[in-house]
């Protein structure tokens, strides 16, 4: 059974796999920019935009926008930039993975 599951997963694109996740979205974001002025002269060449696998961060009209409800809680952005505020979603909220 496990081999069949792994075989099926290999055939799916990342976007297909993301559709299989379940989200319970909190009205309060668990992500924020600590100092938005720092983004205007980002020392990391917009690392948050580049590292996020689900395109949560976008540079629009001279500011970073955050679509926090798409976050898969991988933690990459908090490593890429110290200006990202990140906390675990409140209990029961956030993502749950169907296949681990
Ligand atoms: Fe994107 Fe991962 Fe950061 Fe969530 S934790 S915003 S998925 S890089």
Rounded to an integer, what distance in angstroms lies between the CA atom of residue 14 and that of residue 87?
25
What average pLDDT values come out for the chain (100 residues) when binned by 10 residues?
A: 59 79 93 97 96 96 96 96 95 83
The confidence score (pLDDT) of residue 62 equals 94
Q: How far is the CA of 35 from the centre of ligand 1 (A)?
A: 18
Which residue, by CA, sits nearest to atom 8 of ligand 1? 52
Q: How far is the CA of 98 from the centre of ligand 1 (A)?
A: 18
Which residue, by CA, sits nearest to atom 2 of ligand 1? 74
Q: How far is the CA of 71 from the centre of ligand 1 (A)?
A: 5
Domains and CATH numbers, the chain: 22-96 (3.30.70.20)
pTM of the shown model:
0.81
Which residue, by CA, sits nearest to atom 4 of ligand 1? 71
Residue with tokens 């299989």: 20
Q: H helices within 11-96, ranges in order?
A: 14-19, 36-39, 47-51, 76-80
Rounded to an integer, what distance in angstroms lies between the CA atom of residue 55 and that of residue 48?
9
């Amino acid at each position: 059974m496990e081999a069949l599951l792994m075989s099926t997963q290999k055939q799916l694109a990342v976007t297909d796999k993301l559709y299989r996740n379940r989200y319970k979205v909190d009205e309060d974001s668990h992500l924020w920019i600590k100092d938005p002025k720092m983004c205007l002269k980002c020392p990391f060449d917009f690392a948050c935009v580049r590292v996020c696998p689900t395109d949560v961060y976008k540079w629009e009209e001279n500011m970073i926008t955050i679509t926090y409800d798409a976050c898969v809680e991988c933690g990459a952005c908090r490593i890429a930039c110290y200006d990202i505020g990140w906390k675990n979603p409140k209990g029961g909220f956030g993502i749950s993975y169907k296949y681990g």
